[in-house]
Structure 1
């Protein structure tokens, strides 16, 4: 009976978060420099769904273009980024058994910033086309994750401590190279571009990019949801897992690579967005506990809702100006994390 009630509460929370996400998207579609009533939004959505013409076809009117070409792609991207980063935070914290872990702590963030800095200031990757900065950042993030795995396996098999130390070492190296490039580039316009890219933005969202990012994030989240038993074992430690007949070594490396793939595509699509993978898993553990079967989907939905609302706020806080998403997330995330640290009833894994 108690198990049924607990499962019912978890399913109700998931259903509620889906409803809240839909409401948040409708709210964010209606606000901005041009305010749109809900009737016009519904009409534009229904007309496009019933139409056989492409979304970007000419002559469909300004309301259609605002909704389908500007706002809806960026809101879907915001939901995907929030979903991906939140789940990556859950996975990273399980891999290294560290409550301070997030998608960027293992050097992935520094690798992405090095790739973007090299692309913007040195022109590396221009052959990739107009998205060369994002692609270079993705390559940097993925290469550093491979480097973390390689270094952590030197001198013996990797474990959570070696992964963490390898990530910190490579993060310092990447930051040093990024600073070196910025120092000698002497390109003020390029430096401004690097700074803006580091703050993150969903303004560049397009349907063709979403067609690549969405399947990767969704499939990866579903995969991690199916791995809840292994993730629960990781919290117990390698020795306890071995006594239960499971070797976590290969699983840990596989999860790190898939997490890096998510972060790489998120960085490619939206730039650097921090704190989501750190804050959301902590808050959700306080509500549903440490069972990853519940933690993964609830964190994914919560992260999606959080970034959709945050993106809407970024477009209305300062009139006629868009605030970079990274600034707002840091202003919200840092105080929340400090509160969690000083809350006596909270520890890694909940109460």
Structure 2
């Protein structure tokens, strides 16, 4: 597909440019040379060691993590919107993001899971996401069946409840430094990215993208309604349960390393549908690449616009996402799932 090829080239160029830009600007040619030296086991001169370390140890894992999270959020957004048949749904509508935030805030404020060291916050976020997923499933299922309306309403209600719990934890924080860190984390940041976070996120996101792509036909049918799905041999409840588990796992892992980032999973699927149409096989092929490109540039703006300070990612995605989403909704002839 031409769109996939163009976006793949754009993503590669965006990654190289984003790795080179920052407080210390490095040309794309030198950036590529440093990355190649690290991958191939090459050498750099003594005068280049500091720049090489900045490029390879600090910026490269951060930019790659941004690309992975952007791809994952966009793909999960596509799946959730089809699964609950709601054009306003995104990866956070099920309350998983808020649950992950509660877990991370609890660890930060109380000092829990200290034995895990630097991975304590991520572990707390992941456990919170798993707990939220279980609660959403338990509260919305009725006689083993899951309806889109119950899923949405349960997710929204639990999300508000988790936000209230998080506010209480922040209010009870023992010092203002912990409060500031928690508030910043809940709005999204890749500031803590390192090579240790990439393997798990990469495995979950890549595997999740593969599985979601295999669900392309099922998502096409689910978007038409449960009766139509049943008449075509697609069990809506069975597929919805599997998609809920997968969406929860992917969202929990991504929130654990980046915090809550809004609007990516909401806006990107709509923009991609306007270009490639309603087929979920095509949308799930293009949306992750588009989301990855978008998130790489959002992260670049967040760390360079007001350097040396960083803007929360959620602020930038909201500033971009709100007007774009309103423009899409006002577009004549646009409907959820296509034109």
TM-score by length of 1: 0.91
Residue of structure 1 equivalent to 2:92: 104
Please state how far the C-alpha of 1:156 moved relative to its aligned partner: 5.7
Structure 1 residue aligned with 2:296: 308
Shift of 1:59: 9.5
Correspondence 1:20-59 to 2 at 5 A = 20-51=10-41
8 Å CA contact 2:104, 2:256 repeated in 1: no
1:30-61 superposed Cα distances (whole Å, 9 cap, x missing partner): 211001122322321232233179x9xx9970
Q: Distance in 2 between matches of 1:316 and 1:300?
A: 24
Deviation at 1:334, TM superposition (A): 1.3
In the alignment, structure 2 segments of 5+ residues that lack a partner are none
- Per-residue Cα deviation, 1:70-129 (whole angstroms, up to 9, x for no partner): 111111000000000000100110110000000001111211121122111122322332
8 Å CA contact 1:135, 1:268 repeated in 2? yes
1:253 Cα deviation (Å)? Answer: 0.8
**Equivalent of residue 276 in structure 2, options 279, 283, 288:** 288
Q: How many equivalent residue pairs?
A: 338
What 5-or-longer segments of structure 1 have no aligned partner?
A: 1-10
Match for residue 299 of structure 1? 287
1:151 equivalenced with 2:139 (yes/no): yes
Cα separation, 1, equivalents of 2:101 and 2:71: 21
The reply to whether residue 338 of structure 1 matches residue 329 of structure 2 is no
Query: In 2, Cα distance between the equivalents of 1:31 and 1:130?
Result: 27
Give the TM-score normalised by the residue count of structure 2: 0.95
Aligned equivalent of 2:248: 260
Shift of 1:142: 1.8
Is 1:230 aligned to residue 209 of structure 2?
no
Distance 1:314-1:176 versus aligned 2 partners, 3 A rule: closer
| Mapped contact 1:134–1:271 kept (Cα < 8 A) | no
- Does the 8 A contact of 2:87 with 2:336 survive in 1? yes
Partner SS for 2:146: coil
Bigger shift: residues 40-49 or 304-313: 40-49
Question: Alignment partner for residue 83 of structure 1, among 59, 68, 71?
Answer: 71
Residue of structure 1 aligned with 2:158, choices 156, 170, 178: 170
Shift of 1:134: 1.9
Q: Distance in 2 between matches of 1:233 and 1:163?
A: 18
Following TM superposition, the consecutive aligned residue runs of length 4 or more in structure 1 with deviations greater than 4 angstroms are: none
Check if 1:14 corresponds to 2:8.
no
Give 1:165 shift: 1.4
